[in-house]
């Protein structure tokens, strides 16, 4: 089916607001008060973490890259407005997702970061202007970049010692990845040894990917063998590289491009381009379309050239990556929490296609959410055949955002709804299920009927209601709803929760359907009911034999001892993800302490004046206040946790489970050992030795928090020439003060704070 010609890109802010509405975040960052901002950051942290896990750990993304980036921009905008609300589990401090437990872990010597994005010429100009400001470079000063295609594959780090490949690791969460050395050794494009001119130690980073031709051949073979085909080359590459059996990887031809490095005591050149040329000389494949550019015009011209060639390239790309060429400047620019300042990705526009919306079905999720899903006449969008797409919520189907404003607007300004039979326009900005962005009313059948939200759950017949302020309609059936029971149990045995080997989604569904289990505690009585003396009952189930049955019972027994954070996550409390469960576990340390605190908080919440429920910070109570005081736990999550434990059926089910378990106490957070860890630093006056941005970045790298105002909590004031009121206030409070020369000594690690303060006093 023919592709739809795209119009000029609309305003980025308007695009983001449309995406936020579609994903259920009807939020104006500039209009949020502090309470609403904290709640929004809590929701965003959980939602972005879920998408990180789906993309990086499970190779099954649920939203496109553009929507994901829009969620991150919303999070960043709120954090910029309220810096003190930045959460411990903030997406701005996170890269990728935790590595799979199926592989040995590898701690990266240097973090494997993500990239920031630009989407048009104006954003690219802003990026380059920001680089110049950070480096204090005038507009006419030379500043060269490299430009290379952004390969859509899986990041891979190759460690060579004495010029031999000794380790290969995936990116994982950026700090820790998966050991895939055996699989990397069977990739023909990766040399096992480097030539004599290469250094004794270097970690080379790049992208493992699958060509379009190899992907087509793999899917043809999968279909011939009756196996599941892959959705796209990226998923095929990720799935192939992360095989436990390297022989399977060897049968799936992967390719590799080198483009960066990690630990490297000595580099062969002083520029990005020079190092890539050395990689090429050492026998490593480097993308031939990489080019050095000296102006914005050259960068844009190369971007356009690569974009025009994109359909004919033998591999999938989704943009162009720009990097500052001079390595000395890269070192000065340094890193943000999750991205380098010296590089960015210029993404290509989304691809679009037309098809027919054949039906709107309802799916019931683990928490009872009723989500409309579009069933589509299959259509190819950017090389991927699509037959369904999420419609998010009933407002989205009707054509409105949660604020009542149209998100698909007709010629007269009215909202355009979606109906079965409509000709719809799909947009795909990444290798994922796309979203429906528009409908052609001129082609709407006369008999097409508007969508009517269900008033009862299609799974259990319970009343379905939409709470005030919520974008999603939910089933009220709770534990009696089959969809929720299935999903709750699947979540309970999932990788981040109890992770019981041999008890996956298929087994959970089968055991539940046959009445073998109905709640988590039943899993731990399986052996007593179907084990010794009755083992044949389990052996005769599809997929089980004597050995596999015994292995399952053994795996269940191993999980009777469970860390507190995994238990909390496994309970499936709404709004509590893995990071949030970790925060709660570290705060309360033990299950009895956590359980008692939640019971007390529930009593305090029940006794509170109903009018205060909208103002959680003002609700009296020691336990409730302590829960809200946890950095990273907001009112929405706190209330969800407390109400979960206040519900009698939930408590009864949890009590039956706890009786089966031995719960490990949480480990207290490790003490930070950075030179300025936990200290608050303020900069004032004009800095001449480095830009303000560079000074702030250096302070944060040393563990400090940088503040814009002086108070009794300030640990150090750095005063450049022209310092005024802040310096005066610091003197009145008796705070430690250094001049810029002293700060330079601290930043370089040559002097402690006390030494620098004393030296500054002597100079004064």
Catalytic residues: 150
What lies within 8 Å, CB to CB, of 756 at 6+ separation is 738, 742, 743, 745, 746
Sheet holding 145-151, edge to edge: 116-118, 343-347, 317-324, 145-151, 291-293
| Contact criterion met (CB below 8 Å) for 715 and 690 | no
Quick one: DSSP state of residue 634?
-
Distances 742 to 333, 716, 737, 757, 763 between C-alpha atoms, Å: 21, 11, 9, 7, 10
What lies within 8 Å, CB to CB, of 719 at 6+ separation is 684, 685, 726, 727, 730, 737, 738, 739, 740
The b-or-e profile of 737-763 (16+ CB within 10 A means b, else e) is: bbbbebbbbbbeeebebeebbebbeee
Looking up tokens 């055991």 gives: 511
**Cα diameter, the chain:** 87
CA distance 587 to 637: 15
CA distance 305 to 307: 5
- Paired residues of 168 in beta bridges: 158
CA distance 184 to 386: 31
Neighbouring C-beta atoms of residue 162, cutoff 10 Å:
11
CA distance 494 to 570: 8
Q: Is 75 helix (H, G, I), strand (E, B) or coil?
A: helix
CA distance 474 to 665: 35
Closest to 743 measured CA to CA, from 707, 677, 690, 679: 690
Q: Where are the alpha helices (DSSP H) in 179-326?
A: 181-184, 212-224, 233-241, 246-250, 272-281, 296-309
| Contact criterion met (CB below 8 Å) for 85 and 156 | no
State both tokens at 733: 């409070």
At residue 601, what are phi and psi to the nearest 5 degrees? -65, -35
CA distance 370 to 729: 57
Sheet holding 154-161, edge to edge: 164-170, 154-161, 201-209, 255-261
Q: Cα angle at 381 between 377 and 383, to 5 degrees?
A: 120
| Contact criterion met (CB below 8 Å) for 96 and 174 | yes
Closest to 358 measured CA to CA, from 400, 383, 389: 389
Distances 383 to 58, 213, 215, 305, 642 between C-alpha atoms, Å: 21, 12, 11, 20, 47
């Amino acid at each position: 089916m023919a592709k739809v010609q795209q119009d000029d890109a609309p305003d980025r802010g308007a695009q983001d607001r449309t995406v936020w509405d579609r994903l259920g975040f009807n939020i104006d960052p500039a209009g949020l008060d502090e309470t609403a901002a904290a709640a929004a950051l809590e929701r965003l942290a959980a939602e972005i973490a879920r998408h990180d896990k789906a993309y990086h750990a499970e190779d099954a993304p649920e939203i496109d890259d553009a929507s994901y980036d829009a969620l991150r921009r919303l999070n960043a905008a709120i954090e910029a407005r309220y810096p003190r609300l930045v959460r411990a589990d903030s997406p701005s401090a996170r890269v990728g997702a935790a590595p799979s437990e199926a592989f040995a872990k590898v701690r990266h010597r240097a973090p494997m970061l993500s990239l920031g994005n630009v989407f048009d010429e104006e954003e690219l100009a802003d990026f380059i202007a920001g680089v110049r400001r950070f480096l204090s470079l005038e507009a006419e000063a030379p500043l060269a970049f490299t430009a290379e295609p952004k390969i859509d594959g899986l990041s891979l780090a190759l460690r060579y010692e004495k010029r031999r490949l000794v380790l290969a690791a995936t990116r994982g969460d950026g700090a820790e990845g998966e050991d895939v050395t055996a699989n990397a050794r069977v990739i023909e494009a990766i040399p096992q040894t480097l030539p004599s001119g290469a250094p004794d130690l270097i970690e080379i980073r790049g992208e493992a990917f699958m060509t379009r031709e190899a992907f087509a051949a793999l899917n043809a073979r999968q279909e011939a063998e009756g196996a599941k085909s892959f959705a796209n080359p990226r998923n095929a590459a990720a799935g192939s590289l992360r095989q436990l059996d390297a022989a399977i990887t060897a049968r799936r031809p992967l390719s590799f491009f080198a483009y960066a490095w990690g630990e490297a005591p000595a580099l062969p050149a002083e520029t990005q381009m020079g190092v890539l040329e050395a990689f090429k000389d050492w026998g490593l494949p480097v993308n031939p379309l990489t080019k050095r550019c000296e102006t914005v015009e050259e960068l844009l011209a190369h971007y356009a050239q690569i974009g025009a060639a994109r359909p004919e390239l033998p591999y999938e790309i989704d943009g162009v990556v720009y990097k500052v060429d001079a390595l000395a400047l890269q070192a000065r620019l340094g890193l943000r929490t999750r991205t380098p300042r010296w590089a960015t990705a210029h993404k290509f526009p989304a691809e679009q296609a037309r098809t027919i919306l054949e039906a709107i079905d309802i799916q019931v999720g683990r928490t009872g959410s009723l989500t409309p899903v579009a069933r589509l006449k299959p259509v190819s969008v950017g090389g991927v055949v699509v037959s369904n797409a999420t419609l998010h919520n009933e407002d989205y189907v009707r054509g409105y955002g949660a604020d009542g404003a149209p998100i698909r607007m007709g010629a007269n300004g009215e909202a355009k709804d979606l109906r079965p039979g409509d000709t719809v326009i799909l947009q795909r900005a990444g290798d994922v299920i796309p979203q429906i962005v528009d409908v052609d009313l001129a082609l709407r059948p006369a008999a097409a009927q508007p969508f009517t939200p269900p008033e009862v759950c299609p799974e259990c017949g319970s009343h379905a209601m939409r709470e005030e302020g919520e974008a999603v309609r939910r089933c009220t059936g709770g534990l009696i709803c089959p969809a929720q029971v299935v999903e709750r149990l699947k979540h309970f045995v999932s990788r981040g929760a109890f992770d019981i080997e041999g008890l996956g989604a298929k087994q959970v569904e089968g055991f539940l359907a046959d009445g073998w289990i109905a709640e988590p505690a039943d899993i731990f009585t399986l052996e007593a009911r179907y084990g010794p003396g009755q083992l044949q009952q389990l052996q005769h189930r599809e997929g089980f034999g004597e050995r596999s049955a015994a292995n399952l019972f053994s795996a269940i027994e191993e999980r009777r001892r469970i860390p507190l954070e995994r238990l909390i996550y496994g309970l499936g409390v709404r709004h509590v993800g893995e990071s949030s469960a970790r925060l709660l576990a570290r705060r309360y340390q033990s299950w009895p302490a956590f359980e008692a605190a939640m019971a007390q908080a529930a009593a305090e919440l029940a006794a509170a004046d109903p009018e205060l429920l909208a103002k959680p910070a003002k609700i009296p109570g020691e336990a409730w206040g302590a829960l809200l005081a946890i950095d990273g736990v907001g009112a929405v999550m706190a209330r969800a946790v407390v109400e979960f434990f206040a519900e009698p059926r939930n408590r009864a089910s949890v009590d039956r489970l706890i009786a089966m378990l031995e719960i490990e106490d949480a480990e207290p957070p490790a003490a930070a050992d950075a030179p300025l860890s936990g200290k608050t630093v303020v900069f004032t006056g004009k800095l001449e030795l480095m830009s303000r941005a560079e000074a702030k970045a250096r302070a944060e790298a040393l563990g400090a928090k940088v503040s814009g105002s002086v108070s009794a909590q300030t640990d150090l004031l750095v005063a450049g020439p022209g310092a005024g009121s802040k310096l005066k206030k610091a003197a009145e409070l008796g705070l430690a003060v250094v001049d810029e020369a002293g700060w330079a000594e601290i930043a370089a690690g040559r002097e402690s704070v006390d030494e620098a303060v004393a030296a500054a006093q002597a100079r004064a």
